[in-house]
Amino acid sequence: MLDEKPRGRLIIATSFVVAFMLTAMPLPEWALTWRPFWVAMVLIYWCMALPNRIGPGTAWFLGLLIDVLQGTLLGMNALGFALIAYLVQKSYQRLRVYPLTQQSMVVGFFLAVYLLLSLWIRGISDDPKITWNYWMPMITSMLLWPWLFIVLRDMRRKFHVS
Partner 1 sequence: MILDHKQGHLDSVRSFLSTALYPVQYVVNVPVELAGTVNDAISMHSSLLDENDRLREERLMLNSRLQRYEVLEAENHRLRNLFESSLKLKERVLIAELMAVDLEPFKHQIRINKGKKEGAYDGQPILDATGIMGQIIHVSPFYSDVLLITDPNHSIPVEINRNGLRAIAVGTGQKNVLQLEHLPSNADIKQGDLIVSSGLGHRFPAGYPVGTVRNITLDPAEPFAKIMVIPSARLQSSREVLLVWPHEKARLRYSNMKDFAFYNAR
Residue 140 binding partner 1, by CB under 8 A: no
Question: DSSP of 53-75, one letter per residue?
Answer: TS-HHHHHHHHHHHHHHHT--TT
Eight-state DSSP code of residue 2: T
In whole angstroms, give the CA distance from residue 81 to residue 102. 21
Single out the residue of 25, 99, 132, 160 in contact with partner 1 (rule: CB under 8 A).
Answer: 25
Residue 112 binding partner 1, by CB under 8 A: no
Residue 86 binding partner 1, by CB under 8 A: no
Residue 68 binding partner 1, by CB under 8 A: yes
Single out the residue of 125, 151, 153, 157 in contact with partner 1 (rule: CB under 8 A).
Answer: 125
Our CB check for partner 1 shows the closer of 77 and 104 to be 77
Residue spans of alpha helices (H) in the chain? 9-24, 38-49, 56-70, 76-97, 100-125, 136-158
Residue 162 binding partner 1, by CB under 8 A: no
Binding residue count for partner 1, defined by CB under 8 A? 35
Cβ neighbours of 69 (radius 10 Å): 13
Taking the complex as a whole, how short is the minimal distance between the CB of residue 5 and partner 1, in angstroms? 26
Question: Does residue 23 contact residue 39 with C-beta atoms inside 8 Å?
Answer: yes
Our CB check for partner 1 shows the closer of 35 and 53 to be 35
Our CB check for partner 1 shows the closer of 4 and 131 to be 131
Eight-state DSSP code of residue 5: P
Eight-state DSSP code of residue 30: G
Q: Which residues bind partner 1 (CB under 8 A)?
A: 17, 20-21, 23-27, 29, 32-33, 35, 64-65, 67-76, 121-122, 124-130, 133-134
